[in-house]
Structure 1
Amino acid sequence: MEQNKPLEERVKYLEERVRLLEDKLSVTPSKIPVVTSARPVVQQEKKSVEWDVLIFQKILPPLFIIVFIIGVLWGLKAVSDYGILTNYVKVLLGFVVSLSLVILGIWQLKQRRKVLGQMLVGGAIPILMLTTFAMHQLYEMTGPISSFALNVAWIALGLFFTYKYKSQGIGVVSTVGGVFVPFLIQNTMPNIPVFSLYESLLFTLFLWIALRYKHRILYYVSVVFLQIALVLFFFFTDIPDEFRWIAILPIFIQHGALLVGILKVKEWVNQQATILFSIMITTAFWISFVFTSNEAASLFGVISIIYGLCLYMYQKDIIRAPIFIANALISVLYFIQMLASDLLLEGLVGVSFVYLFVYKKFHTILHAILSGITYFITLFYVFSLDIMSWFSWEMLHWIVFVSVTGYGIYFLGKGQSKNKTLVANFGVPYFAFIVLYFLSNASSLIGDKMGSNAESVTMNALWIITAILFMLFGRRFSLQQGKYVGVGILFVTLAKIILFDVLFVSVVIKSLLFIVLGVVGLLISRVYYKK
Structure 2
Amino acid sequence: MDQESKIDALEEKLKVLEQELSLLQAKVKNIEESPVEAGFRKAPIKQAAPIPPSDISGRQESFIKRKAIPEPFKTEPRDWEKILLQTWLPRIFIFVFIVGVVWGFKAASDYGWLNDWVKISLGYLTSAAFLFIGYKQMNHKREVLGQVLLGGGIAVLILATFAMHSLYSMIGPISAFILQVIWIIGGVWLTTRFSSQALAIISVVGGFLVPFLIESTNPSSYIFVGYETVLFLVFLFLAIRLRFLYLYVASFLLLNGALLFYYAFSPEVEGSYLLPTAIIIQHAVLLYFFLTTEHFMKIQAGTVFSSVFITYTWVYGIFQDLSITLYLLFGIATYAVLSFLWKQQKHKVDQLAINGLLFMFFFFFHFFSDEYLGALLLLQGMGAFYAAFKYKSLASKVLSVFIFLIGTMMVLVDPIMEPVSFESVQWLILLVTFVLGIWVVWQFNQDVRKRTLTIGGLLFTFFSLVFVTQLTMAMTSDLAYENQTLWLSFAWMTQAVVFIGLGIWKRFNLAKYIGVGLLVLTLVKLILLDLPFISIQFKAILFIALGLIGLIASRVFYKKK
Q: TM-score range by the shorter chain?
A: 0.7 to 0.9
Counterpart residue type for residue 230 of structure 2: L
Structure 1 269/518 Cα, relative in aligned 2: closer, same or farther at 3 Å?
same
Q: Take 1:355 and 1:205, find their aligned partners in 2: how far apart are those partners?
A: 37
Q: Secondary structure at the match of 1:238?
A: coil
Q: Is 1:284 matched up with 2:320?
A: no
Q: Take 1:455 and 1:41, find their aligned partners in 2: how far apart are those partners?
A: 84
What is the root-mean-square deviation in Å for CA atoms of aligned residues? Answer: 2.4
Determine the structure 1 residue equivalent to 2:351: 323
What per-residue deviation string (whole Å, max 9, x for no partner) do you get for residues 268-296 of structure 1?
22221111011011111111111122210
Q: Take 1:488 and 1:521, find their aligned partners in 2: how far apart are those partners?
A: 11
Counterpart residue type for residue 519 of structure 1: L
Determine the structure 1 residue equivalent to 2:12: none
Q: Take 1:366 and 1:46, find their aligned partners in 2: how far apart are those partners?
A: 39
In the TM superposition, what is the alpha-carbon distance from 1:435 to its structure 2 partner? 1.1
Counterpart residue type for residue 141 of structure 1: M
- 1:333–1:344 CA contact under 8 A, matched in 2: no
Q: Is 1:429 matched up with 2:458?
A: yes
Determine the structure 2 residue equivalent to 1:124: 153
Structure 1 87/362 Cα, relative in aligned 2: closer, same or farther at 3 Å?
farther
What per-residue deviation string (whole Å, max 9, x for no partner) do you get for residues 222-257 of structure 1?
11111111111111113457x243232210111011
> Does 421-430 or 270-279 show the bigger shift?
421-430
Determine the structure 1 residue equivalent to 2:131: 102
Determine the structure 1 residue equivalent to 2:554: 525
Within 5 Å, which residues of 2 pair with 1:6-45? none
- 1:336–1:343 CA contact under 8 A, matched in 2: no
Structure 1 190/476 Cα, relative in aligned 2: closer, same or farther at 3 Å?
farther
Structure 1 109/373 Cα, relative in aligned 2: closer, same or farther at 3 Å?
same
Structure 1 376/95 Cα, relative in aligned 2: closer, same or farther at 3 Å?
same
In the TM superposition, what is the alpha-carbon distance from 1:363 to its structure 2 partner? 4.8
- 1:273–1:319 CA contact under 8 A, matched in 2: no
In the TM superposition, what is the alpha-carbon distance from 1:354 to its structure 2 partner? 4.0
- 2:376–2:407 CA contact under 8 A, matched in 1: no
In the TM superposition, what is the alpha-carbon distance from 1:183 to its structure 2 partner? 1.6
- 2:374–2:406 CA contact under 8 A, matched in 1: no
Q: Secondary structure at the match of 2:489?
A: helix
Q: Take 2:83 and 2:386, find their aligned partners in 1: how far apart are those partners?
A: 46
Q: Is 1:360 matched up with 2:403?
A: no
1:295 to 306, 315, 323: 323
Q: Secondary structure at the match of 1:503?
A: coil
Structure 1 474/168 Cα, relative in aligned 2: closer, same or farther at 3 Å?
farther
In the TM superposition, what is the alpha-carbon distance from 1:302 to its structure 2 partner? 0.6
> Does 489-498 or 390-399 show the bigger shift?
390-399
Q: Take 2:182 and 2:155, find their aligned partners in 1: how far apart are those partners?
A: 12
Determine the structure 1 residue equivalent to 2:28: none
- 1:447–1:453 CA contact under 8 A, matched in 2: no
Determine the structure 1 residue equivalent to 2:241: 212
Structure 1 373/74 Cα, relative in aligned 2: closer, same or farther at 3 Å?
same
Q: Take 1:328 and 1:147, find their aligned partners in 2: how far apart are those partners?
A: 44
In the TM superposition, what is the alpha-carbon distance from 1:42 to its structure 2 partner? 7.5
- Unaligned 5+ segments in structure 2 are 1-61
- 1:294–1:339 CA contact under 8 A, matched in 2: no
In the TM superposition, what is the alpha-carbon distance from 1:43 to its structure 2 partner? 6.6
Structure 1 338/416 Cα, relative in aligned 2: closer, same or farther at 3 Å?
closer
Q: Secondary structure at the match of 2:478?
A: helix
Q: Secondary structure at the match of 1:85?
A: coil
Q: Secondary structure at the match of 1:319?
A: helix
Structure 1 299/500 Cα, relative in aligned 2: closer, same or farther at 3 Å?
same
Structure 1 212/497 Cα, relative in aligned 2: closer, same or farther at 3 Å?
same
- Unaligned 5+ segments in structure 1 are 1-35
Structure 1 157/444 Cα, relative in aligned 2: closer, same or farther at 3 Å?
same
Structure 1 44/264 Cα, relative in aligned 2: closer, same or farther at 3 Å?
farther
Q: Take 1:51 and 1:475, find their aligned partners in 2: how far apart are those partners?
A: 74
Within 5 Å, which residues of 2 pair with 1:448-467? 448-467=477-496
Determine the structure 2 residue equivalent to 1:12: none
Within 5 Å, which residues of 2 pair with 1:60-459? 60-239=89-268, 243-341=271-369, 342-361=371-390, 363-459=392-488
> Does 336-345 or 488-497 show the bigger shift?
336-345
Q: Take 2:70 and 2:246, find their aligned partners in 1: how far apart are those partners?
A: 38
In the TM superposition, what is the alpha-carbon distance from 1:433 to its structure 2 partner? 0.7
Structure 1 297/66 Cα, relative in aligned 2: closer, same or farther at 3 Å?
same
Q: Take 2:488 and 2:298, find their aligned partners in 1: how far apart are those partners?
A: 51
Counterpart residue type for residue 443 of structure 1: T
In the TM superposition, what is the alpha-carbon distance from 1:57 to its structure 2 partner? 4.1
In the TM superposition, what is the alpha-carbon distance from 1:448 to its structure 2 partner? 1.4
- 2:390–2:444 CA contact under 8 A, matched in 1: no
Q: Take 1:405 and 1:45, find their aligned partners in 2: how far apart are those partners?
A: 57
- 2:350–2:395 CA contact under 8 A, matched in 1: no
> Does 490-499 or 355-364 show the bigger shift?
355-364
Tell me how many residue pairs correspond in the alignment.
495
Who wins on radius of gyration, i.e. which is larger? 2
Structure 1 261/104 Cα, relative in aligned 2: closer, same or farther at 3 Å?
same
Q: Take 2:151 and 2:287, find their aligned partners in 1: how far apart are those partners?
A: 29
In the TM superposition, what is the alpha-carbon distance from 1:467 to its structure 2 partner? 2.1
In the TM superposition, what is the alpha-carbon distance from 1:205 to its structure 2 partner? 0.8
Q: Take 1:44 and 1:484, find their aligned partners in 2: how far apart are those partners?
A: 61
- 1:494–1:517 CA contact under 8 A, matched in 2: yes
Counterpart residue type for residue 254 of structure 1: Q
- 1:322–1:358 CA contact under 8 A, matched in 2: no
Q: Take 1:519 and 1:375, find their aligned partners in 2: how far apart are those partners?
A: 40
- 2:419–2:475 CA contact under 8 A, matched in 1: no
Counterpart residue type for residue 321 of structure 2: S
Q: Secondary structure at the match of 2:476?
A: helix
What per-residue deviation string (whole Å, max 9, x for no partner) do you get for residues 291-310 of structure 1?
12221010110111111111
Q: Take 2:498 and 2:447, find their aligned partners in 1: how far apart are those partners?
A: 25
- 1:206–1:222 CA contact under 8 A, matched in 2: yes
- 1:294–1:338 CA contact under 8 A, matched in 2: no
Determine the structure 2 residue equivalent to 1:515: 544
Q: Take 2:80 and 2:376, find their aligned partners in 1: how far apart are those partners?
A: 55
Structure 1 88/248 Cα, relative in aligned 2: closer, same or farther at 3 Å?
same
In the TM superposition, what is the alpha-carbon distance from 1:68 to its structure 2 partner? 1.7
